[in-house]
Amino acid sequence: MLRLQDTLLSTLAAAACALGCAAGAVAAGGVADPAIDRWIASHARKLRGAEHAAARYAVRGDVDGDGRSDVAVLYTLLGAGQGGNALRYLAVFRRGPRLLEYRAHALVGGGGLREVNRVTILRRVIEIEALEYRPGDAACCPTRFVRHRYRLNGHRLQRAAAAAPQAGPDAKYSAPGRQ
């Protein structure tokens, strides 16, 4: 059984590589940094999964109020956890005196939870845009557009007050590229 699992993970890793293994070489959202690549690779190994590098999305902004440009990264791990789901994570890297330093991460989507497509940073608040499932939505296609806000508190990401829906509670949203 373990051998089959290792073979499956190797296949997933090869597929992820074919989709865009050089995440560091091709800047995700204009952000390329070896510290981010190393941390995500370490997280993937810990969860026995592989990153879908082409789905990585990163933005810069000040998350801790020190005036430096920090980085928030959305990334997807394939085959992680039980059931082999694609799981979407948000990780925050603080700008140190010379390098980016990992601060915190949280599971924000995938696995039937929600489909996260975008992250922004404004006034120390990290906001993700996502599609969540309504009753009756097919497993492939959540339709409820939502925003979730997070704040960095030391080494933890904490949910902040919810943002008001932009187009009303019954608005449907179609993402340009589902991940």
* Reported confidence tier of residue 30, pLDDT bands at 50, 70, 90: low
Q: What is the mean pLDDT of residues 13-21?
A: 36
Task: Report how many domains make up the chain.
Answer: 1
**Domain annotation covers residue 147:** no
The token duo for 52 is 């879908």
Per residue in 119-153, pLDDT (tens digit) is: 999 999 999 999 999 999 998 899 999 999 999 99
In a domain, 53, yes or no: yes
Amino acid at 114: R
Structural domain contains residue 137? no
Nearest 5°: the CA angle 175, 176, 179 is 70
Provide the pLDDT confidence category of residue 170 given band limits of 50, 70 and 90: very low
To the nearest 10°, report the CA torsion of 9, 15, 18, 20: -80
76 near 87, Cβ under 8 Å?
yes
Res 64 pLDDT > 90 = yes
Q: Is residue 4 pLDDT above 60, yes or no?
A: no
User: Considering the domain boundaries, does residue 173 fall inside one?
Assistant: no
Residue 100 domain flag: yes
The letter for the amino acid at 17 is: C
Mapped onto helix, strand or coil, the DSSP state of residue 145 is strand
pLDDT of 26 strictly over 80: no
Domain that holds residue 55: 2-113
Tens-place pLDDT, residues 66-114: 999 999 999 999 987 666 688 999 999 999 888 999 999 999 998 788 9
Name, in order, each residue with C-beta under 8 angstroms of 135's C-beta and a sequence gap of 6 or more: none
**Residue at 91 is within a domain:** yes
Domain annotation covers residue 118 = no
Whether 39 is in a domain gets the answer yes
